[in-house]
């Protein structure tokens, strides 16, 4: 009964989404206030009914209702309750529902927090989001219904893939989707601006907050996924450049460009069209990413053939959204106008260059991700594009961007003088070069890549320090007080940029100094890896809730002193009879010790992986700092204050 | 320099930068493409010598042999028509099993063995790596069941 209720709720939600889009867009075109208000109500109603649909499915998982096909294929009665709930987004149908629910959540947030927007503009925004929602709900109802019954009901479910039975599964997908879907708001803003043919600095200020929030979620979501891969996949990698990761990374790159170009549009009334275009791209890439990951096309392009409706719908929807938005852009762009002019050397030009670099980087990633799919779809053979391609191309593409990142925060708007910049930054440059050249010697190994990585990180840090010093000199009072009183937006920028530096340090150190050893060990054996010594004490069987585990016991010592006890597990999940590796990690600021069990290679001996990963935690700390910087910038009182006065004006 | 000249120089520099970047990208792209061959193709001598490529198929029953004091492993990859011997040193993935699908990346050396530096078996018991499925299909032996098991519940790792 409950699943049918959920199904019915989704149908009602679709009707309300249609109402939302229709009343809002037509109402805006005719200037009919009543219709526009009806659009807002429909948006809230839509959220209510999608919510019911979502909760119905969650209940089916919670109560082990294996008469629902989707539940039966993704859950099991032995599964702990938090994973039963997370199994909701463990497959294609549920993920689509999560997407639609997240979209409804953002839509309601727009109706609640955008009271200050001009009604016509808000109606166009809600109308656009309604159209997207129609697309997703139609897709769910026509080809990916999670409520489909299984008759007769299964005795028990096929279980959630053991790889996904991890706390990461509970948080990573919702957070990532909050980011993906959040770009729909920026997209809506762009479409609304094009429809109105007007794009003011005010528009940029409204859009900025929403885009920054979405970008923060996406940043945290990606970092989460990377960390999860690191500890769960059992071989210590944190980024594999596989298509699933690239799918989330492309919108992130374009989204990063977007939040910077929005800053220029707000402050200088420039880059107008470029900003609109980036908003369209960011959301299109989010859509593409969702479908890439969730449609099964990555497993095999021929997966489409098993359900051609799905494939056709997806391609059609993508074409409609991207094509429609770009057509509107072509028609309306001349009306919006280019915006303010700026000199060849100016903060604008540097930001624009970095914007272009980000988009090029996204294009590079896209080439490597989609090309094999194209070849395969056209029947021209199977190829794969490995991490070496991404590594060799991505780093050189991003290098000038990092350099400009340090420079741009000093450049004046409109027109800056290069000689002046050089005198102000020679100190920062000198220190960066010296550290980059010398530090690797201290660490014990010098390679050009390590030096280059450190140079980039140091450049960001030293320029940030110089900038902070300049700002603080102009202020009275103690260091700390002055730091706190700096504008939030500026603090946010510094924190986020330092996050990039921390991230680069993490990547450079791991790539440069990691020690990886696969070996054969029997209980009682000792192994020396890097400056650590590992003693294999033995292995024990231990039952878990829905698996049996062999737990290894290792003692790590350094200079004769015990530093960590590591207990990696090899689990055998009973339902799918699938083995899983649970690595044991002793995380530290400077070094991670990483031990995982391979397979038993004889009666006694095991294949064992022992890694030393220097500074690897910095990668995720850096990503969190970027997100934290976004949060600080968003909290800048300037947004709230002006919003309030705006509200007053409207009243 | 007049403003017009400046702008022209700016645009020219931009185009040059883009052209250089594009060349580098495409070059890196071309040299990092990894092609795929089936065991039958390898047996027919179609696969390149000395460059890295991928093979796929099933791990033949009873063919996995581990060395006594190292992590060296030998196994046969078959597409049911032809087979090829693979040498790999290291830890095999969790789902590596005799009779199951596998993809290996490496080089064909002059000893006639395929020296793999990477062995992939994906994250799901029922999942057949697309390359392995392709190899079997080409050899005309893909049975109905493995073909259908390419369910969407597989590629959700991250």
Cβ-defined contact of A74 to B153 (cutoff 8 Å): yes
Give binding residues of B as ranges. 123, 127
Average pLDDT, stretch A317-336? 91
Range of weakest confidence among A3-12, A535-544, B42-51: B42-51
Average pLDDT, stretch A475-503? 89
Phi-psi region of B76 (alpha: psi -120 to 50; beta: other; left: phi over 0): beta
Q: Taking CA atoms, what residue in B is nearest to A168?
A: B158
Q: What is the pLDDT of residue A296?
A: 66
The answer to whether residue B154 scores a pLDDT higher than 60 is: no
Q: How far is CA B135 from CA A97, B55, B68, in A?
A: 35, 8, 32
Does residue A397 contact residue A359 with C-beta atoms inside 8 Å? Answer: no
- ∠ CA B27-B31-B33, rounded to 5°: 120
Six-digit token pair at B48?
Answer: 């390149």
Can you tell me the distance from the alpha carbon of A21 to that of A348, in angstroms, rounded to the nearest whole number? 37
Q: What is the pLDDT of residue A650?
A: 35
Average pLDDT, stretch A211-218? 97
- DSSP code, position A551: E
B152 in any annotated domain: no
Taking the CA atoms of A312, A318, A319 and A321 in sequence, report the sign of the dihedral they define. positive
DSSP H/E element including A311: helix A308-336
Average pLDDT over chain A, rounded to an integer: 90
Q: Between these two residues, B154 and A435, which has the higher pLDDT value?
A: A435
Give binding residues of B for heme as ranges. 123, 127
B9 in any annotated domain: yes
Cβ-Cβ contacts under 8 Å for A561 (sequence gap 6 or more): none
What is the percent of chain A with per-residue pLDDT over 70, rounded to a whole number?
96
B151 in any annotated domain: no
| Pair B43, B68 in one domain | yes
Q: What is the pLDDT of residue A555?
A: 95
- Selected for mutation to probe chain A from B94, B98, B101 (highest A CB count within 10 Å) is B94
Residue among A74, A299, A392 whose CB faces B155 most closely: A299
Phi-psi region of B50 (alpha: psi -120 to 50; beta: other; left: phi over 0): left
| Pair B21, B84 in one domain | no
Q: What is the pLDDT of residue A76?
A: 92
B146 in any annotated domain: no
The structural domain count of chain B equals 2
Average pLDDT, stretch A199-212? 91
Around Cβ A277, how many Cβ atoms within 10 Å?
A: 20
A418 touches chain B (CB under 8 A): no
Cβ-defined contact of A385 to B32 (cutoff 8 Å): yes
Can you tell me the distance from the alpha carbon of A618 to that of A286, in angstroms, rounded to the nearest whole number? 27
Residue among B10, B36, B90 whose CB faces A344 most closely: B10
Q: pLDDT-based confidence at B143, cuts 50/70/90?
A: very low
Q: DSSP letters of A109-136?
A: HHHHH-TTS-HHHHHHHHHHHHHHHHHH
B103 in any annotated domain: yes
User: pTM of the full predicted structure?
Assistant: 0.91
Q: What is the pLDDT of residue B1?
A: 56
B156 in any annotated domain: no
DSSP H/E element including A389: helix A387-408
Query: Can you give the CATH number for the domain in which B80 is found?
Result: 2.40.50.140
| Pair B40, B110 in one domain | yes
Q: What is the pLDDT of residue B123?
A: 53
| Pair B60, B11 in one domain | no
| Pair B54, B115 in one domain | yes
B150 in any annotated domain: no
Q: Between these two residues, A305 and A163, which has the higher pLDDT value?
A: A163
| Pair B47, B91 in one domain | yes
Q: What is the pLDDT of residue A222?
A: 96
What is the number of helices (H) and of strands (E) in chain A?
A: 20, 11
What digits encode the pLDDT tens for the residues B99-128?
Answer: 888 889 999 988 889 999 988 876 554 556
User: For A136-165, b where at least 16 C-beta lie within 10 A, e where not — what string?
Assistant: bbebbeebbbbbebbeeeeeebbbbbbbbb
Q: Between these two residues, A59 and A578, which has the higher pLDDT value?
A: A59
B154 in any annotated domain: no
Q: How many CA atoms lie within 13 A of A212 on its CB side?
A: 26
Q: pLDDT-based confidence at A235, cuts 50/70/90?
A: confident
What digits encode the pLDDT tens for the residues A579-606?
Answer: 888 999 999 999 999 999 988 888 889 9
Helix, strand or coil for residue A633? Answer: helix
Average pLDDT, stretch A508-531? 93
Q: What is the pLDDT of residue B21?
A: 80
Structural domain range at position B19: 1-31
Q: What is the pLDDT of residue A299?
A: 58
Report whether the peptide linkage leading into residue A152 is cis, meaning its omega lies within 30 degrees of zero: yes
Cβ-defined contact of A161 to B154 (cutoff 8 Å): yes
Tell me how close the Cα of B112 comes to any Cα of chain A, in angstroms: 23
What digits encode the pLDDT tens for the residues A95-122?
Answer: 999 999 999 999 999 999 988 899 999 9
What is the percent of chain B with per-residue pLDDT over 70, rounded to a whole number?
78
Q: pLDDT-based confidence at A461, cuts 50/70/90?
A: very high
């Amino acid at each position: 009964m409950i699943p049918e209720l959920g199904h019915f709720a989704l149908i009602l939600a679709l009707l309300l989404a249609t109402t939302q889009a229709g009343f809002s867009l037509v109402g805006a075109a005719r200037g009919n206030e009543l219709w526009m208000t009806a659009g807002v109500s429909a948006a809230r109603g839509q959220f209510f009914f999608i919510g019911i649909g979502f909760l119905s499915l969650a209940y089916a998982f919670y109560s082990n209702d294996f008469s629902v096909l989707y539940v039966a294929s993704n859950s099991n009665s032995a599964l702990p309750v938090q994973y039963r709930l997370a199994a909701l987004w463990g497959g294609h149908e549920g993920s689509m529902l999560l997407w639609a629910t997240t979209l409804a959540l953002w839509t309601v947030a727009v109706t609640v927090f955008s009271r200050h927007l001009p009604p016509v503009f808000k109606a166009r925004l809600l109308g656009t989001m309604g159209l997207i929602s129609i697309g997703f709900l139609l897709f769910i109802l026509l080809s990916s219904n999670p409520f489909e019954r299984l008759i007769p009901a299964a005795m028990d479910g096929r279980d959630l893939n053991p790889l996904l039975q991890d706390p990461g599964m509970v948080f990573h997908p919702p957070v990532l989707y909050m980011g993906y879907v959040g770009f729909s708001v920026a997209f809506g803003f762009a479409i609304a601006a094009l429809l109105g043919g007007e794009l003011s600095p005010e528009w940029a200020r409204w859009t900025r907050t929403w885009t920054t929030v979405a970008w923060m979620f996406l940043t945290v979501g990606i970092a989460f996924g990377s960390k999860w891969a690191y500890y769960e996949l059992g071989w210590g990698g944190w980024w594999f450049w596989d298509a699933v990761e690239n799918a989330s990374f492309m919108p992130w790159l374009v989204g990063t460009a977007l939040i910077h170009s929005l800053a220029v549009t707000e402050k200088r009334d420039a880059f107008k069209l470029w900003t609109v275009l980036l908003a369209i791209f960011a959301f299109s890439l989010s859509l593409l990413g969702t479908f890439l990951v969730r449609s099964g096309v990555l497993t095999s392009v021929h997966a489409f053939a098993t359900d051609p409706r799905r494939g056709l719908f997806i391609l059609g929807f993508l074409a409609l959204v991207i094509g429609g938005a770009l057509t509107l852009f072509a028609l309306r762009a001349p009306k919006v106008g280019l915006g303010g002019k700026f000199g060849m050397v100016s903060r604008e030009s540097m930001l624009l260059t970095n914007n272009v670099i980000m988009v090029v980087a996204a294009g590079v990633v896209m080439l490597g991700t989609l090309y094999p799919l194209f070849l395969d779809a056209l029947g021209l053979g199977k190829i794969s594009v490995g991490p070496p391609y991404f590594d060799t191309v991505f780093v050189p593409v991003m290098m000038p961007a990092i350099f400009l990142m340090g420079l741009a925060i000093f450049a004046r708007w409109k027109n800056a003088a290069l000689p002046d910049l050089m005198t102000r930054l020679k100190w920062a440059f000198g220190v960066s070069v010296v550290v980059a050249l010398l530090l690797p010697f201290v660490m014990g190994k010098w390679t050009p890549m390590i030096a280059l990585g450190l140079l980039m990180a140091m450049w960001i840090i030293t320029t940030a320090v110089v900038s902070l010093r300049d700002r603080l000199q102009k202020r009275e009072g103690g260091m700390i007080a002055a730091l706190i009183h700096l504008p939030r937006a500026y603090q946010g920028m510094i924190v986020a940029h330092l996050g990039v530096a921390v991230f680069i340090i993490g990547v450079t150190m791991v790539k440069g100094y990691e020690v990886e050893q696969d070996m054969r060990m029997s209980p009682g054996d000792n192994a020396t890896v890097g400056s650590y010594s590992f003693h294999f004490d033995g292995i024990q069987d231990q039952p878990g809730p829905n698996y049996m585990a062999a737990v290894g016991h290792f003692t790590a010592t350094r200079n004769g002193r015990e530093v960590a006890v590591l207990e990696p597990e090899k689990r055998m999940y009973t339902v799918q009879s699938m083995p899983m590796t649970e690595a044991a990690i002793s995380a530290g600021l400077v070094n991670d010790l990483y031990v995982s069990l391979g397979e038993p290679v004889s009666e006694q001996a095991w294949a064992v992986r022992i890694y030393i990963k220097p500074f690897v935690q910095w990668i995720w700390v850096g990503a969190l700092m970027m997100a934290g910087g976004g949060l600080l910038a968003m909290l800048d009182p300037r947004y709230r204050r002006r919003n309030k006065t705006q509200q007053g004006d409207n009243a | 320099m007049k403003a017009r000249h400046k702008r022209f120089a700016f645009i020219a520099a931009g185009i040059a930068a883009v052209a250089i970047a594009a060349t580098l990208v495409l070059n890196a792209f071309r040299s990092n493409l990894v092609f795929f061959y089936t065991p039958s193709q390898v047996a027919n001598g179609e696969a390149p010598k000395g460059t890295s490529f991928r093979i796929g198929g099933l791990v033949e029953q009873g063919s996995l042999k581990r060395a006594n004091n190292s992590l060296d492993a030998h196994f046969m990859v078959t597409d049911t028509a032809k087979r090829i011997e693979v040498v790999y040193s290291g830890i095999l993935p969790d789902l590596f099993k005799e009779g199951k699908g596998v993809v290996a990346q490496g080089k064909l050396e002059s000893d006639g063995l395929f020296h793999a530096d990477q062995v992939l078996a994906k994250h799901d018991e029922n999942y057949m790596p697309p390359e392995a499925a392709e190899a079997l299909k080409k050899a005309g032996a893909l049975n109905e069941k493995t073909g259908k098991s390419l369910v969407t519940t597989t590629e959700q790792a991250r």
